Structure 1
C-alpha cells in the first residue's frame, strides 16, 4: 500500500514558545531570546541553553507514576492533539491507532536527581521508578494517556530520533497496520547530555554559529513536537524520506557525505521529484566544524548555491532526539507561510566551505510545493524528510 500520508494534527513546544502559534511567530521573527538562558556545567562553564521558558504543569494524579520532566513535556504537547486523537480512536478503534515516539534522553534528568539522593542518603527515593529512564517510556506514556492500542514503540537514534519516528509512523500507515499514528520526538535538558557533549569538546560557550568561520560547537535545548498522521487528505503530506548509515565513525560524519547524499537521494526518489523541486531546506546545521563542513559540501553538490536554506539551532538549541520532529514542524510552518525560517549567525562565511544560500534575513519568501529537513546523528545515522502541500 503506497497511500499518501497526511498530517492530521500537530503540536510543538520549545525555547521559542509553548504552542504552535508562539513558536511560529518567534521562529519567523528570528527571535534570539530562546538561547538567553545558561546552564552551569561540571567544569564551571555556563553555556547558553534552549530551556523552556514556560512552566510545565504537573501530571494529573492518575498519571503520577509516570512523573518525569520529559513526560510532562510530552503531556503538554499531547493536549492540543487529544481531540483529533479521540476522533481517530472513535473512527478506527484503539487497535488501529499506533504510537511511535523518538527520544534520546527520556527521563534521565529524574534519574540524575534520584541518584544524587541515593549517594547522599543511601536509599533511592520512594517515588523513583527506573522505567522512567527507559527509552521506550515516552511511547508507553502516550499509550497510557490516550488509550491507543496499536503498535507502540520508541525510536532512539540520537539526533535523528524524532524524524525517524515520523518515518516509522508513515510506514505503519502505508503497510496497512494502522489507520492513524501518534508520532514525533521529545527531549529535555539533563546533566548527562550537557556534560557529555562538553567532554567531547562540542559545547560552545556562546550562541552557536552554524556555517560561520567562527563556529565552535553546539548549544543544547528542550523540545517536543508531536503529530497525528493518517491517510485522510489534509493540508500537509509526508511526501518522501530517505535513511542511511555511514558506518564511518562513532561520532564524526563521513567527511565526503556519502551517507547524507544517499538519504537525500532516496527521499527525492521516494517523493518522485527532482532536487530543483525543493523550495527550502532546513539544515541540520549544528555549528560543529565537521558536521557543517560535510553538510555544506553535500547540500551544494546536490542543490547548488541557490536553494534557500537555514539552520534553526541558533534559535532553539540542538534538541537532540526532538530536533528532527521540531524541525519537521518548522518546515510545515514554512510551507503554510511561504516563508523561510531565518538563519541566525554572525555572517562571517567560512571560506573553506561551499557557498550556500543561507536565509539570514527574516521574511525571505520561498514559493514551492516541496520542502525538506535533514538530520544527521552519531554513528553516521542520516535522515532526509520531505513535506509537501497537498
Structure 2
C-alpha cells in the first residue's frame, strides 16, 4: 500500500511537516511497517508557503535583513529552488504579526521590505520569482515595494514620498525611469486567491483595512488616497487597476506587482502544487490524506483541501481529509474530490483547550481514520472471498 500525505498547517499548532510525521506513524501502527508513506508539505499561498515549497523541492533558505512594516530592521528569508527560480512570501517582510497590536494603523505601514526581498533575488540572479502575498499589515498600494525597486512616487512639489499608506493621497506623479532594468528579463508569479479590485466597497481598503487596524475614518482616508493612486496609474499608463482581478490583494500590493512588474496572478494552492510537481507524485498512490485547521464553505475557494482534492479527482486517486473542525457547509468540499472527512475534535471543548491538545487529537484522529480504511479493506476482501 502506498500513501501520500499533503496537509496544510494547522495555524499555530501543527505544521504541514508535523502532520505528515504523525500520519506516517499512525499508518504504520494500523497497516504495519510495510506501508509506503511519502509526504509533500503544502500551503495555499499564505503563511508557510515558502517553507512548504523549499521542503518539497529540497531548496535552501536565503536569509537577509529588510525593513519591516514600520521601517524597523527585520530578519527575513526566501527560497532558492535552483535553476534561477525563487519563492518568497511578503508576510515575512511586511506581515501583520510583525506589528504590535497597539501600533496597527495602515496609514503608517509600508511594503518596502517586500521590495527589498525582490531586489535581493534580482541581485542574486533569479529570473523566475513566485511571491505569495497573503497576511499583509499594509494598505500602501504597493508603493513601498516599488520604491525599493526604483519607482519614484512624487508629491505636487516633486518631492519623493516615503511609501506608506498615508502617502497615497499625496501622489501627484509616478516616475518609473529608475525601475530596476532586470525586471524586464524576469518572470513574476503572484500567489493569491483574492480577486478584489483596488478600490470600492469590495476593494483593498474596505475589505481588509479594519483587520489591519484601520478605523472607519482611516478607511475613508485610505480609500480616497487609493482612488487618487488609481487615477494617476490610469492617466500615466492607461491601465485601470480596478479592472484587474486581484489588484486589491495585500492592501493593493497586487496592483503594483501586476502593473509595474507585469506579474501573473495565479491561485496560491495551484501554484504550490505546480511548484512541488504534485500530479506526478500521485502515480501509484492508493489514497491521499490532506487537511486543514477548519473546513467550511471558504475551503472551496482556493484552500489546500480543495486544491489537493481536485488534483486527486482528476487523477482518479481517492482523497480523505483529516481536519481540526468542520463549520458551515463543510460538506461542499465533497464536490472537490474529497471522499470523506473526519474532524480531530471529538468533544465539546473550548478553543483554547482544543489548541492546547491539538497534536494528541490529531494523532488520535489519524488512527481512527486509518481504522476506517482498514475496515473497508476487510469488508472488500470478505466479499471477494465469498
TM-score normalized by structure 1?
0.28
TM-score normalized by structure 2?
0.29
Judging by fraction of residues, say which structure has more helix: 2
| Rg (Cα) greater in structure | 2
Higher RCO structure, 1 or 2 (CA under 8 Å, sep 6+): 1
